[in-house]
Structure 1
Amino acid sequence: MSLTTAPTSLLDLATYLPQKRVPADYFAQFAADDELIDSVMFRSPTFRHHAADGETSADMMVTAARRLTGRNGDGFLDDIDVVLTHSQLPEVPVRGCGGELAHRLGLRPQTVLDVHNGGCAAFIHMMDLAGNLLRATGGRKALLGLAQNSAAQVFTQEQVRGKAQAAIPGDGAAVAIVALDDDRGSQVLGLSCHSYGQYAGDMTGVSDPPRKYWEAGPGQIHIGFTEAKITKVLARGNRMVPEVAIEVADSIGIAPADLDWFVTNQPNRIFLRNWREALELPPERHPDTFDECGNLFAVGIPVTLDTAVDDGRVRPGDVVMMAAFAHAGDFAAAAAIRWGGRP
């Protein structure tokens, strides 16, 4: 549990969905004889967005950041001391895009860190890291950049697009600004992160014929789902997200059923239903972007929150619980904020 002396605040966030909107029919035409086609994990969303050819993680983050400064003014990024980025599929081996993002936005941060292991819970993980880094360094603001860019690049490959898993992901990006002890933003009321390393090996990349991802070969890499792994992931996910959300709700003295909003990652309809039922919340208090965006992985929480704010559902003073689990269950996190409105 993160115990803060100077409370962390989310000042604002902005998101980006690529223009290319892909219907489920695109994948249906390639549907192969996949033994997992009837799995509840892979019931297709109606739409998802695909990044354009050559559109990188940094490109999408910069577009989201321009929307942020368009609303708040160019000076909104003047005092960024920490830049954290998370990309689902780093374009260059080893390094991420944090340095490029900072350069393209004209920033001069003290700390640039590419966060690779937060998965679908990376937004919450990065909020936690940002607050701790700002407290440790005396920094003023942190910029968080997230991109999901594997839908168009991985799941439309000729050997992958016919698999049940291919129709689920979508592409998009988000940028958020975090500060300490700033009454302009949405204060973080409570936050918790948990690592479960015993499950880290259950999410694997595979190909046919088999090869390591860096080796040349004819097989195209995709996620190695099996019936046994799906059963484990469903059981873990059904348990982990409600558990960590209830933990944070208890820590701030709010009954889960009294939360104004519950914003989660968006992996599939079965998880969304089970999570809100576990917290005894009606569907209208659990915003859902799955049918429009598919699974956006780490970008799912900020896109869903941003959508609910933009359409007027989330209002100043509302308590928003964000929660997610990552990969096959090796990480889970939740954070509650009191929405303070746009700056």
Structure 2
Amino acid sequence: MKNYSKIVGTGSFLPPNRVTNEQLVQRLAADGIESSDEWIFSRSGISARHYTDASMQTSDLAVQAAQRALEMAGLLPDDIDLIIVATSTSDHFGGFPSTACVVQRKLGITNGGAAVDVQAVCSGFIYALSVADSFIRSGANKNALVIGAETFSRILDFKDRGTCVLFGDGAGAVILSGSDEPGILATKLHADGRYADILCVPGNVNGGVLAGSAFLTMDGPAVFKLAVSLLEKVATEALDSAGLEATQLDWLIPHQANIRIMQSTAKKLHMPPEKMVVTVDQHGNTSAASIPLALDVAVRDGRVKPGQHVLMEGVGGGFTWGAVVARM
């Protein structure tokens, strides 16, 4: 039995419809809402985001990212015996069947391996990766497909400029396989339900009728303050568990939510800006997809190399947060 799990492939996908800040500003202006490219970029670091069209579901984004990860790993779909999809925007109302099962079907996997969704919002990929690591290290599974995929454009209120300018759609995936060499070195997960209301979709359905709002709502200042504090703490926890110092990290890959939060975390860890992977400018906050998206970009452009140490971390509604230290 192999005693470790290791990332052996990455993949990502952004839907073709790229919306720049200026295009979004024009859309908001049509409804009498004032904004500007400078206002959006200075507060978030975002220049553009991608939106799905009506024909594309979260599972479709996930499948595209998964296929690219499988190709990099040199594996066939039926080599995968565990699928975990982190998403807050499942294909189906109520979350079932799970998006993971839909992905399994669309990939043509018929080996009867497990498939399940994980819901921890923007921390979802970190949660999913941690779960997959535990299954593989236990010997229960050999090859796990871990995906973060979101279609957040469908839960945005485009009359609320404080939220609608921040989010986009996309997917990122990794293949996690059993290994004789350490890959995932440490994982740390946390949650605190006392902060559930500061980032949520508050509506619910009873008898087929929506009660409350189906749109994302966020207390921006509260989320910012909490995120900055928690990301530093969980990063330190994960590094301690891995037996590493921050100076031994090659790359910081944080949840791509807000450039100011990301820069603050890097500064507190005494990591130079050039060691932080930043893709938020090109796709906005893609929630559970953002970390694997950024990882895939950095792997494919040659920044992240085999043997290097990477810290991935995120915070999300719930309130949830977590970090993973990995040797690539």
Asked if 2 retains the 8 angstrom alpha-carbon contact of 1:276 and 1:283, the reply is yes
Whole-Å separation in 2 of the counterparts to 1:91 and 1:101: 10
Q: Select 2:22's aligned residue among 14, 18, 25.
A: 25
User: Structure 1 residues 79 and 217, CA, compared in 2 at 3 Å: closer, same or farther?
Assistant: closer
1:290-319 deviation digits (Å, cap 9, x = unpaired): 111111111111111111111111122211
Q: Select 1:289's aligned residue among 245, 268, 279.
A: 279
Are 1:69 and 2:70 an aligned pair? yes
2:9 corresponding residue in structure 1: 12
3-state SS of the aligned residue for 2:184? strand
3-state SS of the aligned residue for 2:314? strand
TM-score (norm 1): 0.84
1:187 corresponding residue in structure 2: 183
1:315 corresponding residue in structure 2: 305
1:160 corresponding residue in structure 2: 158
Q: Select 1:112's aligned residue among 112, 115, 126.
A: 115
Asked if 2 retains the 8 angstrom alpha-carbon contact of 1:205 and 1:213, the reply is no
2:169 corresponding residue in structure 1: 171
Residues 203-242 of structure 1 mapped to structure 2, 5 A cutoff: 203-205=199-201, 212=204, 216=209, 221-225=214-218, 229-242=219-232
For residue 201 of structure 2, what is the amino acid of its counterpart?
G
1:14-60 deviation digits (Å, cap 9, x = unpaired): 1101111111012212155589x979995461111111222011111
Q: 5+ residue gaps in structure 2?
A: none
Asked if 2 retains the 8 angstrom alpha-carbon contact of 1:192 and 1:248, the reply is yes
Whole-Å separation in 2 of the counterparts to 1:58 and 1:143: 13
Q: Percent identity?
A: 25
For residue 53 of structure 2, what is the amino acid of its counterpart?
A
2:253 corresponding residue in structure 1: 263
Are 1:331 and 2:324 an aligned pair? no
2:100 corresponding residue in structure 1: 98
Asked if 2 retains the 8 angstrom alpha-carbon contact of 1:42 and 1:164, the reply is no
1:183-214 deviation digits (Å, cap 9, x = unpaired): 5xx701111111222222333335xxxx6456
Asked if 2 retains the 8 angstrom alpha-carbon contact of 1:44 and 1:168, the reply is no
Q: 5+ residue gaps in structure 1?
A: none
User: Structure 1 residues 202 and 85, CA, compared in 2 at 3 Å: closer, same or farther?
Assistant: same
User: Structure 1 residues 19 and 10, CA, compared in 2 at 3 Å: closer, same or farther?
Assistant: same
User: Structure 1 residues 219 and 27, CA, compared in 2 at 3 Å: closer, same or farther?
Assistant: farther
Aligned-residue CA RMSD in angstroms? Answer: 2.8
For residue 115 of structure 1, what is the amino acid of its counterpart?
V
